[in-house]
Amino acid sequence: MLKKINFSFALQKLSIVALCFVFAVFSFSCKSSENDPSESIIGKWEMVAIGATENTISEPPFDYCWEFRSDETVHLFKPGPVWIGNIYYPDGKYTSIGLYEIDKGFLIMIKYYDDGDYSEERWKYNLKRDQLKLTREPLYVPGPAEIFIANYLIFKLVEK
> What is the reported pLDDT for 6?
57
Residue 149 covered by a domain: yes
Largest CA distance in the chain: 99
> What is the reported pLDDT for 15?
57
- Would residue 104 be called left, alpha or beta, if left means φ above 0 and alpha means ψ between -120 and 50 degrees? left
> What is the reported pLDDT for 25?
46
DSSP symbols for 48-83: EEEESSGGG-B--SS--EEEE-TTSEEEEEEESSEE
CB-facing half-sphere around the CA of 136: CA atoms within 13 A:
17
pLDDT in tens, the chain (160 residues): 555 555 565 556 555 544 445 445 444 444 444 578 889 999 999 999 998 888 888 888 778 899 999 999 999 888 777 776 677 778 777 778 899 999 989 999 998 877 888 888 999 999 998 999 999 998 776 665 555 578 899 999 999 8
CB atoms within 10 A of CB 121: 17
Judge if 27 and 58 occupy the same domain: no
E strand residue ranges, the chain: 43-51, 65-68, 73-79, 82-84, 87-89, 92-103, 106-113, 118-128, 131-136, 152-159
Structural domain boundaries, residue 35 = 7-40
Query: What is the three-class DSSP state of 122?
Result: strand
Judge if 11 and 89 occupy the same domain: no
Judge if 20 and 48 occupy the same domain: no
- Which distant-in-sequence residues (6+ apart) come within 8 Å of 112 by Cβ? 96, 97, 98, 118
Residue 2 covered by a domain: no
**Single pTM value for the model:** 0.68
Judge if 47 and 113 occupy the same domain: yes
CATH code of the domain containing 144: 2.40.128.490
Judge if 17 and 57 occupy the same domain: no
Judge if 15 and 48 occupy the same domain: no
Judge if 34 and 49 occupy the same domain: no
